[in-house]
Amino acid sequence: MENKNSNLKPSLKGMKRNNFMATYKQIVYQLVFSTKNRERTLLKENREILFKYIWGIIKNNNCHLYRINGVEEHLHVVTSLHPSVALADLIKDIKVASSKKIKEENLFPGFTGWQDGYSAFTYHYNMIYDLIEYVKNQEEHHKKECFIDEYKRLIIEFGIEFDEKYLF
């Protein structure tokens, strides 16, 4: 009698298996947060110092920075997180440490802190190059669209329910 299943893969029964599974993830975030009361204090001349400092915070958390940029009152960060890092913890680390750095070095004299909240939008990996270009061109972009309009558009675009009185 011919074995009808002869071309099937061998059974896993009796094969040695590892007792663990590797962690795989592919989540690209765009993080957006603003200065307290959206004060326009992040002057261009020292932004690069701030961006490099935030990059160090992200790197120290074993996360990957794809792009960071911003204008006077807000930042955009494109990153992926290490599986052991909680998003809220990373944001807290960035805000606390960068606030301290800004104040200690007087990078932005009028800076009083970061707004309490933030937004995190996820993107399919195929969109990463477009997202990086979008963030890279923030100054040009904001000649056409103000931060409030941009922020509201992103929240609506991602289908996030919000109460406008808490939005700004």
Reported as a single tens digit per residue, the pLDDT across 66-99 is 999 999 999 999 999 999 999 999 999 999 999 9
pLDDT at 165: 77
- The answer to whether position 61 is within a domain reads yes
Q: What is the pTM of this model?
A: 0.83
- The answer to whether position 23 is within a domain reads no
- The answer to whether position 98 is within a domain reads yes
- The stretches of the chain forming alpha helices (DSSP H) are 44-60, 87-105, 128-136, 138-141, 147-157, 164-167
User: Number of folded domains in the chain?
Assistant: 1
- The answer to whether position 44 is within a domain reads yes
pLDDT at 168: 62
64: pLDDT strictly greater than 50: yes
9: pLDDT strictly greater than 60: no
- The answer to whether position 168 is within a domain reads no
Q: Are 57 and 131 in contact (CB under 8 A)?
A: no
Domain containing 85 equals 28-162
Whole-number percent of the chain with pLDDT over 70: 87
Positive or negative torsion for Cα 15, 16, 19, 21:
negative
